[in-house]
Structure 1
């Protein structure tokens, strides 16, 4: 029998590597990606939107699939198909080719993988440690992301001259191409780990197609599920917002491209600590309380970043604010799926619930990059980023109120159930 540690390790490792090619490359090496592929921030945002559209289409059917088939097989196929896409990316395709590739990744990363991973993690956590289970999952994913990115940054640096600013276009292409090959190889290794060490789950029996559809229809009527989706929308916008720090520190704080990659990869090491801490706090104080606090912190931080200039003490405050925002965002990601247990979602419909929440919650993949890319490009320099942070304030405030409404809805529902029980 495979140990629980080995199983959660494989879920963690695969859960991060599945997104390494479409997201890590652009997150940690964004200035280089923009240069090598000859893209603007808006162009890259539009390409991410293609990923978002195809992912949105398959979130829900992928969730239903996870309720009926083995996570081991679904996840292995997904990882291998994603790794193959990296080989095409390494050819440095055109804008159209890159768009088609991200559309392909939207399917390979989500349809067979996402809900299967969330369902497997919920099963792992049981009924009393959902917060810590999801915190460990996301914290572990963060540690994998940071570790792999650190190696990738070193790999990239080995292909660039000592004075990075003097690197030729050919040298930049070679450096980025080798980073892409590296991430493709790591994704393939993750597929091997899943195949070897994650056990085949038994097929869910006892639910006919008609019963499954009835359960899914019922989910659409549950206010708490829709509010969870709204919470994920806001938290995911904040997470995608971290991608813009790489260009922010280049354009505003005047780092070079390699320094920016190093800064964002080092910041990723905050994710394990933040997510795991949030998970244990969620088990003790409820996930909704941790999440509402996280949104409050983000609103304040984005307000600070929206008017500060990098001069004198302002520079130190900016760095401190960036670090705190990383911690708050990682904490949100660590526990937002723990809300499934807080809302007492049935295990039999976990996959479908994840599919529905993800269908709505990850729509920022469609619009966020395109929107914020245009905001930043419209006002070059610090003004564009200040306008961007103003938008982020609004998103954090909406997330806070959605979480408060979610908690109030559960409280009202529990009160009604108590009254009915008393009458009976």
Structure 2
């Protein structure tokens, strides 16, 4: 984890130099390696172990709530830096001044990430006795693990669920842009909306986690997809105008509630899906390969839809696409709930 954070911070320093499009493309792939490949599956497995058999929702709720808290803090850090550098507002700032301010944000963030990596080295220590008891796994056993995981229906359903849920999460990237271009908010006000939604994510993560422990993760996923469909269809209908501030606020919170709930639910459902603890890392890796592909295609698709249909129409098409993915996720969640409820009853 420490190495991952250090390498990630180095990527941030490189980004502050404003690299070319090719350089940014390579950097994005590099960050994929440093932030996902190095510890993602291990982090999920560690959270599952900590949650035990009865606190999976709480464990993943605290995990995502904590991640939301950090994202919220970094978001407001960026706004603070911009407000200090642009006392008269960003609207009057030149392009060079904006580039310089953004450079400050990236560099300071990278330094913080590097400092956290150093703290990890000195504060968190591996348990040598646990390490000694962990047997080495042969390549043949790894292959057997993959084959075993692929035979579990819950893994395939979770792949689809994560794919649909993460599509919704990627659309949160345009909330601030929507507020600026459709609602007519200033750049600072629009950025504040994005940061405030990250604050909501903290609360949602913990509440949904507790509810999932009281009910079932799959049941909460069904509800979350239904909420997402409702909010997405309101956006797609074109009923939100610059003067409908309350409707905009209600709808964006509705979509955010449905989308952020999944950050807690889709991995807490691993326990419900009866996926063996021994192959958790393998299962998470396979599910992530499919589930997080929106990182690849959602940016270009949203860009094409918004560029080809300027104004509110482009955003309507984006949210219509979200409603379709949410419907598919709703069906997959129902199937997951049905299969695993049937297993329990039998």
2:211 aligned residue? 281
Summarize the alignment of residues 16-415 of structure 1 with structure 2, pairs less than 5 Å apart.
Answer: 75-201=1-127, 202-203=130-131, 204-205=134-135, 207-307=137-237, 308-312=239-243, 314-414=244-344
Q: Deviations over 1:110-146 (max 9, x none)?
A: 1112112111111111111011000000011111111
RMSD: 1.5
CA contact (8 A) 1:79 1:108 kept: yes
| Cα distance in structure 2, aligned partners of 1:266 and 1:243 | 13
| Cα distance in structure 2, aligned partners of 1:338 and 1:324 | 22
Post-superposition shift, 1:206?
Answer: 6.3
Worse-matched range after superposition: 214-223 or 132-141: 214-223
Partner-residue secondary structure (3-state), 1:345: coil
Post-superposition shift, 1:176?
Answer: 0.2
CA contact (8 A) 1:274 1:328 kept: no
Partner-residue secondary structure (3-state), 2:47: helix
Shift of the 286–199 alpha-carbon distance from structure 1 to 2, 3 Å rule, reads farther
| Cα distance in structure 2, aligned partners of 1:195 and 1:398 | 43
Post-superposition shift, 1:228?
Answer: 0.7
Partner-residue secondary structure (3-state), 2:185: coil
Worse-matched range after superposition: 192-201 or 263-272: 192-201
CA contact (8 A) 1:132 1:280 kept: yes
Partner-residue secondary structure (3-state), 2:274: coil
Aligned residues between the structures:
341
Partner-residue secondary structure (3-state), 2:310: coil
Q: Gaps (5+ residues) in structure 2?
A: none
| Cα distance in structure 2, aligned partners of 1:131 and 1:194 | 26
Post-superposition shift, 1:194?
Answer: 2.5
| Cα distance in structure 2, aligned partners of 1:196 and 1:133 | 25
CA contact (8 A) 1:130 1:341 kept: yes
Partner-residue secondary structure (3-state), 1:306: helix
Post-superposition shift, 1:335?
Answer: 1.8
TM-score by length of 2: 0.95
